[in-house]
Structure 1
Amino acid sequence: MGFNVGIIGCGSITRYRHAPEYKANPFVDQIVFYDRNIERAQSLAAEFGGRVAEKLEDLLMDPTIVAISDCSSNEAHHIYTSKALLSGKHVLCEKPIAMSVKHAEEIARAERKSGKKLMVDHNQRFTKVHQKAKEILEKKELGEVLTFKTTFGHQGPEGWGVTKSNATWFFNKERSPFGVAGDLGIHKIDLIHYLLDDQIEDLHTFHGTLDKVDVRGKPIEVCDNVVSILKTRKGRLGTASFSWTYYGKEDNSTTIYCQKGIIKIYHQDDSQLIIEMNDGSKITYELESIQTNDNQTSTGVIDAFIDCIINDKLPPVTSSEAIASLKVVEKMLGIEVLGTK
C-alpha cells in the first residue's frame, strides 16, 4: 500500500535528488509537483510520471498526499514547511531549515502543533562512510576524539542551479544570506555534531567574498569562503573551511584525530575511509564514493524519511538538530550579517 508525495519547488535539488529517489521508493505511488513557475513543474511531472498542482493550496489540501518535500529557496522554508505541517503533511525540508533561528523556531512550533514528522535534509549523515566512521567513534576503537578538521568546497552553485548562471539565488542576500556557509558549511557542522555526538559551542571565524561576481560583474553580496576555528561542548578543538572557489576537484573531506589513531574520510577516491593507527598500521575501507554535483547517486534521505513515516520512527535528522547547526552558522557570520539585530 503506497501513498502520494508532493514536492514544493522544482529546481535542481528536486530533479536530481528528491524526484528520482521518491520515484525509486516502493511505497510512493505518485509525485505531485508544485512550482511558482508552472512550466518547471510540468517538465518534472512529464519526466517522472507525476502530476502538477497549479496552486500551493491544491497540493496542501490534497488528501492523497501524505508527505511533502520543501525544496523551495531558503527564504521560503519557514512559510512552506510550516503551512505543510499545519495542513497535516509530514515534511522533509531542505537545508538550511530556515534563514534564521527565529524562522526555524516558527517551523518547530508548527511541527509540535501539527504532531506530524519533520525531517531536515542533512544528507551527509547517510553516507555509508560517515556511518562507519560514527560506529568506530561510538565504540571508542581509537580512544577519545581530540581534534578534527573538515572541509567542503567546490566551484560554486552557479554550475549546479537551474539557470546555470551567476544569476543564481544562492548569490542573493535576501534569499540566501549565509552564502557558502548555508549551502555547504551547515552540512559539515551537522556532520561534526553527528560524528562526535557533541556540539560546537565556541568559534572564531573569517569569512569573505574573494572571487564570485554577480550578473553585473560586482562582488556577490554573500560570502564565498569561510574559515573557522571551533571548540565543542566536550572540549574538542577543530577547524572548518567552506568554499565556492575550489576551482579544481570538489573537496568533501574530514579528518578526526583520536588518542590511538586518525580517521581520514573522503581523502581518496578508492579508499573512502582510512584508519591510521599510532603503531603505523593502516586499515582502509572501500564503501562508496561521495555524491558530488557531477556524480548524482542515491542519498538514502528519501528512503529514511519514508521509513520514519511508515514505521512511526523519530526522523534521523530532527528540527532541534537542524536548529543547533543553524545557530552555529549564525554565530560564524555574526548576527548583523543577517540583518536581524
Structure 2
Amino acid sequence: MGTLKVGVVGCGSIANHRHLPEYQNNPDAEIIAVCDKVEDRAKATAERFGAGKYYTDYHELLQNEEIDIVSVCTPNYLHAPVSIAALQAGKHVLCEKPMATSEKEANEMIAAAEKSGKKLMIGHNQRFVPSHQKAKELIASGELGRIYSFRTTFGHGGPEGWSADGKNSWFFKKEEAFIGALGDLGVHKADLIRYILGEEVKEVAALVEGNAKENSTVDDNAVALLRTESGIIGTLTASWAYVSSEDNSTIIYGEKGIIRLEEDPVFSMVIQYKDGSTVNYQLGQIQTNESQSNSGVIDHFVESVKEDKTPLITGDEGWKSLQVIIAALEANETKKNVQL
C-alpha cells in the first residue's frame, strides 16, 4: 500500500492543531481534501495544508474515490452520521471523541465498520502518553501489588480559548455538543482509567453541574465515583472551571506504592513506594492546548491502516469509555448508582 490519501471533515481547532499537522508530518499520508460548512474556513485550511480540494458538504468529499482515510473533526452530534457515511463509502475512519451521542449511534458506527471491512478508530490520545503507557506496564507487572483506588482529573478554563468560534462555540450548545466537560474531558479520563488498570468500570455515581459558563446548556463541572470489576474505586473529575492552569493528572494508589502521573511540572511520573523511597521519571510532558506535540494518534492510525492491524482504540473501546460518561449523566439525573 502506497501513500494514504487523507480527507478531513471539520476544519476547527482539533483539525488545525492536531490532525492536519500530524498527517502533514507523516510520510505515509497525503492530505488531499478538507471540508467545513464555513467555506472561508475550508478554503483557508486547504491552502494552509496543501489540500488540492475543499468542500462545504461532507457527502461530496466522501464521493472522492482517491480518499483512503477520513478524520472526523466535527461537532459531537455529527460524529456518528459522518463516520457511518464515510465507512459506507469505503473509507477508514478516525473519529474524534466522544464517538457518539448515544448507545444506538455507537452501535451503528461499530456495525458500519464491521460491514464495510474498514477500520474505525476513536481519537483517545491519552493512551499514547509515555507516562500512561509506563504506568500501565508497571501495574500489569505487579510492581504496585494490588490496586486499591485512583483519582483522575482533567480540567481547564474552558473551550472558548481553544475553539475556532470562541464563546459562541458549539461546545456550549446541547443540540450540537450533547454533553459538556464530561464529553470534552471526562471521556478521556474514563478511557485512560480503563486502559491503565486493564479493567472495565462496573458501577458509576455522579454529581454534575452547569454553573461556570454563561449562555451554556451543557455541563461544565462533574465528579464521578467509579468502581471497577475487581473492586477498585476512585474519582473522575471533569471541569471547565480551572481558571489558573490545566490539570490533567492521575494518581493510582496501590498496595506497594503510589503512582503520580502528570502532576509534577518536571517529572511526568513519580512513584512513592511504601518503604519511603521515591523514583522520578522524565518521560516527556503530556500534550496540552498550549503545548502542541505529536499526539501519536495519527501515526498509529496510519500504521494500522497500512499494515492492516487492529487500532488500539476500536469502536468497541470507544463505546466502553463513552458508556461510563453516559452512566454518569444518568446517575446524576436519577440520584442512583448506575450498574454497567
Shorter-normalised TM range: over 0.9
Inter-partner Cα distance in structure 2 for 1:58 and 1:169: 23
1:196 aligns with 2:189: no
The corresponding residue for 1:217 is none
**Distance change in 2, residues 1:231/1:335 (3 Å):** closer
Q: Which range moves more in the overlay, 246-255 or 32-41?
A: 32-41
Deviations 1:206-259 (A, max 9, x none): 111122102xxxxx2111100111111111010111100000110000000111
Inter-partner Cα distance in structure 1 for 2:116 and 2:287: 33
The corresponding residue for 1:186 is 187
1:149 aligns with 2:155: no
What amino acid sits opposite 1:322 in the alignment? G
The percentage of aligned residue pairs carrying the same residue is: 43
The corresponding residue for 1:138 is 140
The corresponding residue for 2:163 is 161
Inter-partner Cα distance in structure 2 for 1:96 and 1:335: 19
Q: Once the 2 structures are TM-superposed, how far is the Cα of residue 172 of structure 1 from its aligned partner?
A: 0.5
The corresponding residue for 1:17 is 18
On the 8 A contact 2:155/2:241 being kept in 1, the answer is yes
Inter-partner Cα distance in structure 1 for 2:90 and 2:181: 33
Q: Once the 2 structures are TM-superposed, how far is the Cα of residue 41 of structure 1 from its aligned partner?
A: 1.2
Q: Once the 2 structures are TM-superposed, how far is the Cα of residue 29 of structure 1 from its aligned partner?
A: 2.5
The count of corresponding residues between Structure 1 and Structure 2 is 331
What amino acid sits opposite 1:128 in the alignment? P
Which consecutive unaligned segments of at least 5 residues does structure 1 have? 215-219
TM-score by length of 1: 0.95
Inter-partner Cα distance in structure 1 for 2:181 and 2:75: 14
Inter-partner Cα distance in structure 1 for 2:30 and 2:144: 45
Inter-partner Cα distance in structure 2 for 1:229 and 1:185: 12
CA-atom RMSD, angstroms?
1.2
What amino acid sits opposite 2:229 in the alignment? R
Residue aligned with 1:53, SS: strand
The corresponding residue for 1:239 is 235
On the 8 A contact 1:41/1:52 being kept in 2, the answer is no
Question: Once superposed, which parts of structure 1, at least 4 consecutive aligned residues long, lie more than 3 Å away?
Answer: none
Residue aligned with 1:206, SS: strand
Q: Once the 2 structures are TM-superposed, how far is the Cα of residue 51 of structure 1 from its aligned partner?
A: 2.3
**Distance change in 2, residues 1:335/1:203 (3 Å):** closer
The corresponding residue for 1:51 is 52
1:300 aligns with 2:296: yes
Residue among 319, 335, 339 paired with 1:323:
319
Inter-partner Cα distance in structure 2 for 1:228 and 1:31: 42
Inter-partner Cα distance in structure 2 for 1:30 and 1:325: 29
Inter-partner Cα distance in structure 2 for 1:239 and 1:336: 14
On the 8 A contact 1:207/1:226 being kept in 2, the answer is yes
**Distance change in 2, residues 1:104/1:277 (3 Å):** same
Residue aligned with 2:185, SS: helix
The corresponding residue for 2:117 is 115
Q: Once the 2 structures are TM-superposed, how far is the Cα of residue 336 of structure 1 from its aligned partner?
A: 9.5
Residue among 245, 248, 253 paired with 1:249:
245
TM-score by length of 2: 0.95
Inter-partner Cα distance in structure 2 for 1:211 and 1:239: 20
Residue aligned with 2:121, SS: strand
Deviations 1:144-179 (A, max 9, x none): 211101000000001110022x21111101111221
Residue among 82, 85, 88 paired with 2:84:
82
On the 8 A contact 1:274/1:282 being kept in 2, the answer is yes
What amino acid sits opposite 2:33 in the alignment? V
Residue aligned with 1:322, SS: helix
Inter-partner Cα distance in structure 2 for 1:211 and 1:5: 38
